[in-house]
Structure 1
Amino acid sequence: MNVLFPVFLLILLGYIFRRTGVVELGFWAQAERATYYVFFPALLVANLSTASFGEQPALTMAGALITGVVSVTGIALFLQSRLVIPGPAFSSIFQGSIRLNTYVGIAAASAMAGSPGVTLSAVALITLIPLVNFLCVPVVSHYGSAQLSSLKSILATLAKNPLILGSLGGFALNFMHVQLPESIYEVLRLLGRAALPLGLLTVGAGLNFRRIAPQKYRILMASFLKLILLPAVTMLACRLYHVPAPADVIAVLFASLPTAVSSFILARQLGGDEDLMASIITTQTVLAFVTLPLALYLVD
C-alpha cells in the first residue's frame, strides 16, 4: 500500500523530531490541542458541507462498524471471565481492543480516497466515537479503581467532542443547503490542510518505547483483538451487509487503526493500568505499520 507510506513516514518523523529535540518539547501539546480543536474540525466542516451523500452507504457501513466493536467487546469480556486478569490491567486491555486513533484514520482515508474518504471518515467517527465511549467509560470505571462515571458525564463529554461537532456541523450545513461565503470555505480548507500532517506528527511524538511494561502477553492480547480480530469481524460484516467500495475499505481501515493516545488519559482518570496502556498504544502503533496495509489488501 504505497499510499499509506507517507502516513507512516510522518508518524516516524514525529517520533524523531520529539526525541532529537528538533522541535521544542512544549510545542507538541499545543500542536495536538490545535489539531484536535481547530484543524480536524475545520477539515470535516469544509468537506462535509459540500459533499454529495446520495450514493454513500452510511447505514450499512455503520452497521458493519458497530458489529465489529460489539463483537470484540463481548469476546474481551468473555476472556476476562476465563483468565481472571487484574481489573486495572483488563481495563487497559479493553480500551486497547476497541479505541481507535482518529488522526491516523482520517489521514489514511484522505490519502486513499480523497474527499469521499473524508466524507466516509465522518460516518465512521459519528458511529464509533459515541459507541466506544459508552463502552469504555463504564468498563474502565468498573475494572479500574475509580468510581463509575454517570451517564450525564459521558453525554457531556460526547457533546463537547470537536470531531463529532465538526462532523455534525458539516452534515447540518449540507442538509440545510447552507452555502457559506467562499472566503470562509477557503479559510476552512487551509486550516484543514494542516490537520493531516500535524496530526500524524503528534502521533509519532507521543510514542514512548521507554515505558514498555513487562506484560507482553497482555499487550499482545490487546493487539490481537484490535489489529486482527476487529478488522476481520468488520470485514466479514461488510460482506454480509453488502457494503460497497470504497465504504467497505474505509470501514476496515477504521477497524484496523491502533488504539488512541486518549486511552492513556482515561486510564489515568479512572484507575486503569497507565503503564500497560502506554505500552499498548506504542506497540499497536508500530504493529499497525504491518497489519493495517495487510487488512486493506485483503478487503480490496
Structure 2
Amino acid sequence: MLELLLALWPLFALIVAGYLLRRADFPSEAFWPGAERLNYFVLFPALLFSSLAMAPLDNPALPRLALAVGLGLGLAWLALLLVRRMCGWPAGRFGAFTQGTLRFNTYLGLAAVGSLYGAPGLGLAALLLALMVPAVNLLSVWSLTAERGVSARSLLLPIIKNPLILACLAGALVNLCGLGLPGGTDRLLALLAAASLPLGLLCVGAALKPEQLRGEVSALGISSAIRLLGMPLLAGLVAHALQLPALESSVLVLFFALPTAPTAYVLTRQLGGDSQLMAGIITLQTLLAAVSLPLLLRWLG
C-alpha cells in the first residue's frame, strides 16, 4: 500500500496545486484556458503519438483488449438507457450522467499508468485510448442531443476532428508502416510528452468547482459510486471472463476506475446539458478518486 501511495500522491498533489494556483489568480485567469488548449492540441497528442508509434501492436492480447472495451462500455451504456427510461431523464441530465459514467480523466490515467507500469503500460494505455475515446465521445454527444435528433455528420465531426484520436491513428499508422521515430524525432516527442502530464494535472485542479457540490447530493453520490466502484468492478469481471493477461487487466480496470474528464463540462455546456450537475460530478469524482484509486490498485495487486 505504501508503494502505491508513493506513486500516486504526487499526481494528486499537482491537482491540488492547480486548484490553489487558480484560486490565487496565479499566473492569471487567462493562463488556464490557453494552457488547456496547448495541452489538448499539442503536448498530449505528442504523448499519444509517440506511445502508439512504439507500442507492440502485434501483441496477441490486443484483440481481447478491444473486445473487453466494447463489452464494458456496451453493458454500461445499456444500463444507462434502462435507468433513463425508468427515471424519465431529459437529455441534458442524461448527458451529464452518461459522461459521469463513461468518460475518464486521460491525464490522470496516463500519469498513474506511467508511474506504476512504465513504458509497457503506457503503450497499452495509448491503445486503450485509441479504442475508448471515439466510442465515449460518440455516446456523450448522442446522449446530450437525443431529444433534438442528431445527424450522422454532427455525431462524427467532433470525433474526426479530435486531436487525441488523430494522434492515436497517426501513431498506429507509423508503427504499422515500420517508419519508427528517426533523426531525433523520438527525443522531440519525449520532451513534449514530458510537459503534458504535469500541465494536464494542474489544469484538472484548476477546473475543480467545489461550490457546485452544494446541490443534488444524492445524484452526485450515485454518479461517483457508479464511476469509481461500479465501472472498475464491471471491467474486472469482463477481464476475468476474457482471461486477459495481468498487465492488460490492470490497465483496463484502472481506466474504468478514473474520475470523469473535466472536458465533459465544456461539451455539456456547448450542447445545452445540465452543466451545473456536470461540474459537481467532475469535482466530487476527482476528489474521491484520491481515496478510491489507491484502494483499487491494492486490490489489483
Tell me which interval the TM-score lies in, with the shorter structure as reference length. Answer: over 0.9
User: Where do 1:207-286 residues align within 5 Å?
Assistant: 207-286=208-287
Indicate which of 76, 99, 103 corresponds to 2:103: 99
Shift of 1:56: 5.9
Aligned match of 2:35 = 31
TM-score by length of 2: 0.93
Structure 2: unaligned runs, 5 residues or longer: none
Indicate which of 117, 126, 129 corresponds to 2:130: 126
The alignment partner of 1:246 has SS state of helix
Contact 2:91–2:143 (CA<8 Å) still a contact in 1? Answer: no
Contact 1:252–1:296 (CA<8 Å) still a contact in 2? Answer: no
The alignment partner of 1:179 has SS state of coil
Aligned match of 2:85 = 81
Whole-angstrom distance in 1 between the partners of 2:184 and 2:249: 35
| Count of residue pairs the alignment pairs up | 297
Pair 1:113-2:114 in alignment: no
Shift of 1:211: 2.4
Change (3 A) 1:134 1:86: closer
TM-score by length of 1: 0.93
* Aligned sequence identity (%): 38
Deviations 1:187-217 (A, max 9, x none): 1111110011111111011001122251111
Whole-angstrom distance in 2 between the partners of 1:121 and 1:21: 34
Contact 1:72–1:229 (CA<8 Å) still a contact in 2? Answer: no
Pair 1:191-2:199 in alignment: no
Shift of 1:181: 3.0
Indicate which of 71, 74, 88 corresponds to 1:70: 74
Contact 1:45–1:169 (CA<8 Å) still a contact in 2? Answer: yes
Change (3 A) 1:179 1:297: same
Aligned match of 1:296 = 297
Shift of 1:66: 2.2
Deviations 1:195-240 (A, max 9, x none): 1111111101100112225111111221122111111000100011
Greater Cα shift, 88-97 or 196-205: 88-97
Deviations 1:268-287 (A, max 9, x none): 12221110110001011001
Aligned match of 1:200 = 201
Shift of 1:112: 1.2
Aligned match of 1:16 = 20
Greater Cα shift, 249-258 or 214-223: 214-223
Aligned match of 1:44 = 48
Contact 2:45–2:167 (CA<8 Å) still a contact in 1? Answer: yes
Whole-angstrom distance in 1 between the partners of 2:214 and 2:146: 22
Q: CA RMSD in A?
A: 1.7
* Matched letter for residue 204 of structure 1: G
Whole-angstrom distance in 2 between the partners of 1:87 and 1:157: 19
* Matched letter for residue 41 of structure 1: P
* Matched letter for residue 95 of structure 1: Q
Contact 1:213–1:276 (CA<8 Å) still a contact in 2? Answer: no
* Matched letter for residue 51 of structure 1: A
Whole-angstrom distance in 1 between the partners of 2:52 and 2:220: 37
Contact 1:238–1:248 (CA<8 Å) still a contact in 2? Answer: yes
